[in-house]
């Protein structure tokens, strides 16, 4: 039996942890050939143990991303699927957030996917098509207090995926956003290091119709669909994996 992603040469940024790590794991189980870029070198072993390739790359570093894409395209003999997943949260209102912090955040969260996809698209064209997946968020469709740069970056990503979908459909390339709600990952757990953690956790849970956090594997299942040929007529879309958060 072959997997749903058999032989698909895949790049994943931020694949060392959380949702993107779950995507890497599931993709490898489905037969994909996976290469991960992450800022954190300590995650190399975990990715390699899955059977994935690993490189330390800052998704906000233009030259670094370009060099990584070129090297992996060469090593894998081409590219089929690209997942722009690297991201981090920055919690500050507009008076607290510095212009430098805004620029640095945008460089990873919005310019990062643009640079990654721009570098990869020629390789997908050469392969006869492929799938671009941007990690969006429920916060691509809703605001959240103090997420001054995060919310605009995720909103912007939806626009980027729509434009890429239009421009490169002729080349057999599909582009979609994958939009998690609150998912139980290290990123979310870090925010619970506060005195009112129980209250905060209860609030997050109540944002979903199931009164719980999502699991990284539930988001990875959406990524498998968007990467596979089963989603051949799906492009320019945003797949919500948010337990209903944005439906209320
Ligand atoms: N967890 C959630 O509830 C949630 C909800 C909606 C969207 N998201 C999005 O999903 C993605 C993954 O989030 P997660 O919760 O799994 O986070 P996480 O912190 O568990 O994992 C993120 C990974 O990205 C890496 N990373 C961060 N900045 C990087 C950079 N500049 N270059 C390369 N790698 C970098 C980190 O080292 C880490 O391994 C992010 O884009 C996030 O915005 C998460």
Q: Nearest CA to 181 among 156, 149, 229, 144? A: 144
Is 134 close to ligand 1, i.e. is its CB under 6 Å away? no
**pLDDT one-digit tens code per residue, 92-143:** 999 999 999 999 999 999 999 999 999 999 999 999 999 999 999 999 999 9
Please, are residues 229 and 5 in contact by the beta-carbon 8 Å criterion?
Answer: no
First-to-last alpha carbon distance for the chain, in angstroms, is: 41
When pLDDT is cut at 50, 70 and 90, the band that residue 1 belongs to is low
Name the residue with the closest Cα to ligand 1, atom 40.
Answer: 87
Give the atom of ligand 1 at the shortest distance from the alpha carbon of 136: 7
Q: Helices (DSSP H) in the chain: which residue ranges? A: 18-29, 44-50, 62-76, 99-109, 111-126, 150-168, 186-190, 197-206, 216-227
Active centre residues (catalytic):
150
Is 209 close to ligand 1, i.e. is its CB under 6 Å away? no
Question: How many Å apart are CA 26 and CA 28, to the nearest integer?
Answer: 5
Give the atom of ligand 1 at the shortest distance from the alpha carbon of 85: 41
Q: Which CATH architecture has domain 9-182+215-241?
A: 3-Layer(aba) Sandwich (3.40)
Q: How far is the CA of 170 from the centre of ligand 1 (A)?
A: 31
Provide the residue ranges of all domains of the chain, joining segments of one domain with +: 9-182+215-241
**pLDDT one-digit tens code per residue, 149-197:** 999 999 999 999 999 999 999 999 999 999 999 999 999 999 999 999 9
Please, are residues 133 and 84 in contact by the beta-carbon 8 Å criterion?
Answer: yes
Model pTM above 0.85: yes
Is 15 close to ligand 1, i.e. is its CB under 6 Å away? no
């Amino acid at each position: 039996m072959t997997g749903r992603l058999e032989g698909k040469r895949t790049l994943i940024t931020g694949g060392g942890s959380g949702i993107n790590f779950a995507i890497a794991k599931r993709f490898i189980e489905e037969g994909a050939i996976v290469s991960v870029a992450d800022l954190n070198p300590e995650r190399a072993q975990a990715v390699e143990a899955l059977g994935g390739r690993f490189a330390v790359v800052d998704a906000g570093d233009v030259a670094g991303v370009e060099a990584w894409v070129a090297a992996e395209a060469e090593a894998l003999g081409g590219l089929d699927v690209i997942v722009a997943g690297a991201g981090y949260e920055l919690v500050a209102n507009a008076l607290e957030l510095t212009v430098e912090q805004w620029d640095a955040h945008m460089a990873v969260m919005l310019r990062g996917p643009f640079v990654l996809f721009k570098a990869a698209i020629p390789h997908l064209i050469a392969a006869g098509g492929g799938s671009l997946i941007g990690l969006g968020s429920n916060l691509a469709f809703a605001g959240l207090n103090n997420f001054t740069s995060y919310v605009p970056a995720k909103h912007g990503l939806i626009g980027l995926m729509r434009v890429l979908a239009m421009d490169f459909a002729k080349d057999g390339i599909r582009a979609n956003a994958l939009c998690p709600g609150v998912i139980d990952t290290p990123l979310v757990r870090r925010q619970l290091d506060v005195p009112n953690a129980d209250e905060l956790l209860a609030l997050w849970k109540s944002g979903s119709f199931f009164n719980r956090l999502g699991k990284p594997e539930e988001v990875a299942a959406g990524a498998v669909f968007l990467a596979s040929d089963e989603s051949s007529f799906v492009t320019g879309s945003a797949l919500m994996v948010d337990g209903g958060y944005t439906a209320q």
